Structure 1
Amino acid sequence: MSMLLTGATLIDGLGGDPTANSAVVVTDDRITAVGSTADAPADADLVDLSGLTLLPGLIDAHVHMGHASEMRAVLNNELSVAERAADIFRTLRQTVEAGFTAVRDCGGIDHGILRTVGKGMVPGPRLWASASPLVQCGGHGHLGSPFQAPDESFAFRVRGLTAVGRISDGRDEVRKAARECFRQGATFLKMAVTGGVVSIADDLDDTQFSIEEIAVAVEEANARHTYVTVHAHNKYGIQNAVKAGVKCVEHGTGIDEATAAQMAAAGVALVPTLAIAQVLTDDFDAHGLPPQIRERVCGTMEGMVEAIRLATAAGIPVGSGSDLIGPKQDRRGLELALKAKVLGPMGAIQSATSVNAEIMRVADKIGSVEVGKFADVIAVDFDPLTEPELFDDPSRVRLVVKGGKVVKDTRK
């Protein structure tokens, strides 16, 4: 099966100038030519994209597909497995139709979802997942009431569907938990090394896990030829993680100049998550979170914006992640709109395409419109360089192609 995409203005995801009236040839699931129609087979399907902008499929490097239901209802065991599965499948479909053809799930799904989407049984983006985040007892990711025994709070885990934080105290427990994550289908490890916004029994200023414990997770990831990323807000937790050998930091609200320099020297990337900070600020009650969490949201946006500036100045790769949770995860494009105010529109696009692909170690497969890459492309009906705020409207994504197959087409 071949396809010839013509007429669009091409933004290739690598930061170069847009190319007007572009041509992209797709054969089976790969891009086989860019800029010329000469290599298109005679029987190729012609897709006229005149008036549209063609981009690589977007990548969200911080999602929680398994947390697609109302959180309070999940914690109180008020939802059936069928309802939770329906919420997950709906969110997967919404994500790919919004133009995000690939995501990195930082905790919430296991092998069952990976296989279901991978086999094409339900529509969704390409998935790279951490399965169960590694958390310490009482730390970020240890959900549930403090009046429950530690393991009781994870009664809402559903094997084959969802993966929740694994309590891992001490080097031996961290090692066992890391190995279990890979058994659940993890392609990288996620670890919480500071308190979090959506936490029950900690503060943002708390550090979690020792350097030695984090290093065990790094050792296990290295053995699998992959990496560890950490949920981290304050600079002390970030510095501990960098010393232990992690390769990516999520959020990073407390990064200062010295911490940025330390990250840069160690080759550590940053994935800020501006969208969730904005959404929680605008409509906290819609997420069904405990009321005490509301005050923690304050200041996180400003902290991450400053972290982006410091990281950029230090030469740190800055990726793009939305971190949306709950049943309304239809604003992933808000992350690009917000990042465009800090990085500029082209920088925001790169962060959600080629930079994310590099961070996720899949740049040989996705992240740019280049020969040999998977044919994951989207077409939008606006100019992303002058109106990046329109990424926040999924209806403006008119065409989505994943692996050479059209999964959405609303062109007139």
Structure 2
Amino acid sequence: MKRVVAMAAALGIIMGAYAVEKITIPAQATDYVVLGMGCFWGAEKRMGEIPGVVDVESGYAGGDLPGAGYQDILNHERALRTGKTTGRNHAEVVKVVFDPNKVTLETVLAKFWESHDPTQGNRQGNDIGSNYRSAIYYHDANQKAMGLATRTAYQKALDAAGYDRITTEILPLKNYITAEEYHQNYLKKNPDGYCGLGGTGVKYPRAVGKVAPMQVPPISSGTSSASTSPKMGIEPLKSDDLNPVRQLVAFEAEHCEFCERFEKDIMSHWQAEVPIARTLNSNPPSGWALEKPLFAAPTIVLFKNGREVARYTGYNGEKSNFWKWLGFQLLSPEQQKIAFKRGTEPPFTASNLDEKRPGRFVDPVTGATLFYSNSKFESGTGWPSFFEPVEGAVTLHEDNSHGMKRIEVRSASSGIHLGHLFHDGPPPSHKRYCINGNVLKFVADR
């Protein structure tokens, strides 16, 4: 599965007089406009949803690289970032072909404004670089006028919502290049493909020059539990709502399949001790700091005392990898040795060995309940022992290490090693789940 990782750059745009590009219109009854909205995969999907649009093609435009391809553009962006060239790079764009008898240019541009954040400069969400700039490339005077008018109207709506100035460039079309075939209809061919596109949530006023009431998604609360609402805040999280000592933040993007999968696999079941918050804004919480720019959605960042200490970039269903990453951030070296290297603590050393209070023993990474205290018994072995786990909480695996045949016990939620199962326990099951106490967290009943 391909994911776009853009090179970070803060680049000046070289302005000039550009000749209008001549593109063959597919049919006399249609018109077209070329738009830059960040990654063209998501842009192609968004613009193709408009009734009256007959075709959307991914491409490159607006730069000084005639005949360039995808890798050429990435290489050029890298050269710009390192000061090895000053030539203007192409932007990823979509050529939107539409039937003017069925949809107006203003409607097409309204979808354009709503479907991305035009205030971000040389980036779009977590895709960073001048090749992801916002742009309207026109081919006649009417398109130029409509582009300028709709930009003015949308800026008024953004001003009312507290957004910065629009950075979208509106220029004559120059050096348009059709993108490679594998980029065309990418999200139709790859339903789980990367999509880093996210709008502001501010609606475009439907008549140019008139500002309609805005519908802005509510600001994310930043609470410790995962929000199941499909709309999250577009403003930066407020640090006052978060845990200043240790806090996870999932930076996501609108209409992002990877983010939806992360929500389904991880967020909707969140029980971990460390709190997590979600946001559609790529900036850190107010007063907090990221170590480097974000590059893909979702990116999960662990903050300690307001500073980033670790991050997990991207997600495509690899639950065990995510929990292992988090485990290395939360567990001590001794716990990591047990959890990830199938180590064993010395007998009679676990702090919870003699724990007899009513409660439950949970996974130290995910917080999922593994055993209830009423299933714990004194085995005399020096390790916490249980005759029954919570249903579905553990998995069993054949273990032939150290010249022995044993049954390994792992946490079903995180996959960490817990201990072994033996058949010398009390009746009626005669099972003894011999568990390393240092990878169990005890939670007493209230």
Q: TM-score normalized by structure 2?
A: 0.19
Quick check: which one's helix share is greater? 1
Q: TM-score normalized by structure 1?
A: 0.20
Report which of the two structures shows the higher radius of gyration computed on alpha carbons: 2
